[in-house]
Copies of this chain bind each other. A is one copy, B any other.
Amino acid sequence: MRSDAVARRLQEMGASEGDYVSIDKRGEHYQGVLMPHHSFSHPDVVTLKLDDGYNIGIAIDDHTHLRLVEKRSPPESREGSIPRDGTKPSIALLGTGGTIASYVEYQTGAVHPATTTEELALSVPEIFSLCNVQPRIVAQKLSENVVPADWQVLAEAVAEELREGAAGVVVSHGTDTMGYTAAALSFMLDSLTGPVVLVGAQRSSDRPSSDAGLNLMAAVKTALTDLGEVAVVMHGTPSPEYGTIHRGTKVRKMHASRRDAFQSINALPLGYVEDDVRFVGPYRGAGQGETRARTGLNTNVALVPFYPGMPPHDFARLAQGKDGVVVAGTGLGHVHESWVPVIGDLVEQGTLVVMATQCLWGRVNLNVYATGRKLLRSGVIGGEDMLPETALVKLMWVLANSDKPAADMKANLAGEIAARTLYEAYPGQKKYM
């Protein structure tokens, strides 16, 4: 709710949501469209959509000057009233929390997730020109608090929306663990009849430089294609130029804060979104059947990176009793030789041990060096070009859903293993002149 003081000032000057207003505060001048009040914003904060499409939240105090610049027709929609148009396709917008729908709490300065998916949709009203939006809250969490049980609920919700006629599904998600969720949905969802697109923001949507708007628009456009895969759509560059579509099993957050943090690792992106969506590589098309969710997970697993000096008993302590372990080894997939017998024992006790590489790029190859050969002999499964994180999520899923888990870990189930890696898929470091 807006504070009485701010509500009165807006009323006195005759401004309501959708009108074009200007705000002057401590020498700074802002003008834009007055947006609906977010339930998580401070009562004294007014949100404007600036001319460049970015939203900004401004705390109104006695030194702030507000002016009505232009009375405009009421916006297509108001808070809580999403417009519907029977001629347009329907997209389900599933909210899980995260920065894209977060608001700065002005008392503490901390960022909190927003409460409603409506607020998210209404903050980017351009999407209503493309489709009907069916908002639905699935979770309200910062993504570091997402757990595998959330993936299961989300996968069921996605399958339900597609079965009930959604042309595609957009999932708003915190960026921190978005890659893990995308991988989980990729393995869980079968016979997709439409795209499943995860989207987030690196800056919250009431901050001036938020990437939420472009990302959400690009995600909705992707959700309206014939893609039959799980994808992540985020800024392709730091500027609002285009969105990049990443395959859910190949994507990783590679920067803590930049808008172009997400990269496809060991793969080209699936495509790009500017005015239109353009796919650049092969993708699985949407099917005609019925989308199913197989959400079983065995979470009795671990992901363990190897480093010089890591004692084999530290590894054993973590791995003992697990049903599966992913080791992020060095280079082609190596560990200190003292680990080899420990791994051998684990395998004998029935633990699936998968080797990935901490390099992230490239492919595990246990046939080149003596260490790799020893590991192969002790029963380690080479993780090919899978990301360690994707290998971990896949292990959870395969252990719960497959009767031949070792063979399935080596097989390509959802685009996570490529037979050949394109040369262009490694960015390398540019020469700085």
Residue in B281, B317, B369 whose beta carbon sits within 8 Å of that of A318 in the complex: B317
Which of B111, B302, B389 lies in contact with A369, CB distance below 8 A?
B111
Q: What is the CB-to-nearest-CB distance from A92 to chain B, in angstroms, rounded to a whole number?
A: 23
- Which stretch from A41-49, A216-224, A263-271 is at the chain B interface? A263-271
- Taking chain A's interface residues, is the majority helix, strand, or loop, or is none over half, making it mixed? loop
* Closest B residue to A320 using CB positions: B317
With an 8 A cutoff between CB atoms, is A193 at the interface? Answer: no
Residue among A264, A303, A308, A337 facing the most chain B CB atoms (10 A cut-off): A308
CB < 8 Å: which of B314, B329, B361, B396 contacts A255? B361
Instruction: Please tell me if the beta carbons of B269 and A429 are within 8 angstroms of each other in the complex.
Output: yes
Check A261 for interface membership: any CB of B closer than 8 A: yes
- Indicate whether A407 reaches chain B with its CB closer than 8 angstroms: no
Q: Which 5 A-B pairs have the closest CB atoms?
A: A256-B362, A176-B330, A144-B334, A176-B331, A255-B361
> Whole-angstrom distance from the CB of A325 to the nearest CB of chain B?
11
- Chain B residues closer than 8 Å to A112, beta-carbon distance: 370
Give 20 A-B contacts (CB < 8 Å), ordered by A residue.
Answer: A108-B370, A110-B369, A111-B370, A142-B371, A144-B329, A144-B331, A144-B334, A145-B337, A145-B371, A151-B308, A180-B307, A180-B308, A244-B431, A253-B330, A256-B331, A303-B310, A317-B317, A424-B430, A427-B428, A427-B430
Q: Does A413 contact B (CB under 8 A)?
A: no
* Chain A 47-91 residues near chain B, CB threshold 8 A: none
Q: Is A196 an interface residue (CB 8 A)?
A: no
Partner of A305, one of B238, B280, B303, B363: B303
Enumerate A163-188 residues with CB–CB distance to B below 8 Å.
Answer: 175-177, 180-181
How many A residues touch the partner, as a band?
35 or more
Q: Are the CB atoms of B256 and A359 closer together than 8 Å? A: yes
| CB nearest to A335 among chain B residues | B144
Which residues of A217-273 have CB atoms within 8 Å of chain B's CB atoms?
236-238, 242, 244, 253-258, 260-261, 263-264, 268-269, 272
Query: Which chain B residues border A145 with CB–CB below 8 Å?
Result: 336-337, 371
CA distance A269 to B433 in the complex (A): 11
The answer to whether the Cβ of A121 comes within 8 Å of any Cβ in the partner chain is no
B255 near A362 with CB under 8 A, answer: yes
The answer, yes or no, to whether A299 is at the interface (CB within 8 Å) is: yes
Q: Are B309 and A257 in contact (CB under 8 A)?
A: no
Is A148 part of the contact surface with B, judged by Cβ < 8 Å?
yes
Assess the B146–A308 pair: CB atoms within 8 A.
Answer: yes
